[in-house]
Amino acid sequence: MRAIVLNAGYGTRLYPLTLNFPKGLLQVGKKTICDHILSRIREIGIQEVYLVTNSRFYPKFKEWGEDKGVKVFDDGTDSPDNRLGAIRDIEWVLERVPLDDYLVLAGDNLFTFSLKGLKEEFEKRGRECFIAGVLRIPDKERIKQYGVVKTDGEGKILEFKEKPSRPFSDLASIGIYLFPGEKTSLVKRYLEEGNNPDAPGYFLEWLIKKEPVYAYIFEGKWYDIGTFETLEEARKVFSEGG
């Protein structure tokens, strides 16, 4: 198993802080956001890690990754106007790396929980199914910002909707996925059909109609670092060792 960390966004909601500095390298507690993510990846034995970014931030990420054994890819974009989108970035990396099972993570998310259970769930299911990490968010207004998931008794995703106006569940997709190697070609098929190349939730909406996709429910703290308020909240928690 290998990992792909998505860091090709421009962090526009955090301007001017991220105008010329990547969000993933912002300091939170004693480490950068990416260092926190990398430590969670390495905890479950994944050594091959790829990070995809844009041309603006490539030099900074390359410097960060050199002494950590992280291979950094430049997707060739240089502004929010011509960015590829998360799904196209995933495909861009998959076309350049070995065929394998992939842990895919959003590079601006911080979390306190281990990924061990997610990996064990994937192995229990024979490494044949896509799995999306989810978290319970009881706040009905907050959850509208995310992909919302409905599952059956076995954890299979029956319904998935990106940013619904009327949430039908308290389970939110949180930007952590496992892709079985033999089915990664579905990413290319999704894009060839002209589907939305942006948030991975749109891919999952499409995917559950074609393949069994399961949810793994995490427990712990999770922060989507998209606003100054969330960044400061995360800094407070992680400075306290959370």
Question: Which phi and psi (to 5°) does residue 150 adopt?
Answer: -120, 130
Cβ neighbours of residue 118 closer than 8 Å, sequence gap 6 or more: 103, 131, 133, 176, 178, 216, 218
Q: At what angle do helices 86-94 and 185-192 cross, to 10 degrees?
A: 130
In a domain, 86, yes or no: yes
Under the banding of pLDDT at 50, 70 and 90, the label for residue 241 is: low
DSSP labels, 135-192: EE---TTGGGGSEEEEE-TTSBEEEEEES-SS-S-SEEEEEEEEE-GGGTHHHHHHHH
In a domain, 98, yes or no: yes
**Residue 59 preceded by cis peptide, ω within 30:** no
Number of domains in the chain: 1
In a domain, 162, yes or no: no
Question: Are the CB atoms for 215 and 134 separated by under 8 Å?
Answer: yes
In a domain, 33, yes or no: yes
Question: Are the CB atoms for 158 and 208 separated by under 8 Å?
Answer: yes
CATH number for the domain that contains residue 73: 3.90.550.10
Which residue range forms the structural domain that includes residue 69? 2-128+176-198+221-239
CA–CA separation, 242 vs 234, rounded Å? 9
Q: Tell me, what's the pLDDT at 199?
A: 85
Q: Which residues pair with 130 in a beta bridge?
A: 213
In a domain, 9, yes or no: yes
Average pLDDT over residues 68-92: 94
Average pLDDT, the chain: 94
Q: What is the pLDDT of residues 181-224, one digit of tens each?
A: 999 999 999 999 999 999 888 999 999 999 999 999 999 999 99
In a domain, 139, yes or no: no
Q: What is the pLDDT of residues 120-132, one digit of tens each?
A: 999 999 999 999 9
Residue 60 pLDDT greater than 80, yes or no:
yes
CA–CA separation, 2 vs 102, rounded Å? 5
Whole-number Cα distances in Å, 70 to 52, 138, 189, 222:
10, 36, 28, 23
Radius of gyration of the CA atoms of the chain, in A: 17
CA–CA separation, 78 vs 15, rounded Å? 16
In a domain, 165, yes or no: no
CA–CA separation, 181 vs 103, rounded Å? 10
Residue 240 pLDDT greater than 70, yes or no:
no
Average pLDDT over residues 69-83: 94
Q: How many Å separate Cα 158 from the centre of its chain?
A: 21
CA–CA separation, 20 vs 207, rounded Å? 35
The model carries a pTM of: 0.94
Average pLDDT over residues 106-113: 94
Q: Tell me, what's the pLDDT at 242?
A: 46
In a domain, 215, yes or no: no
Average pLDDT over residues 62-84: 94
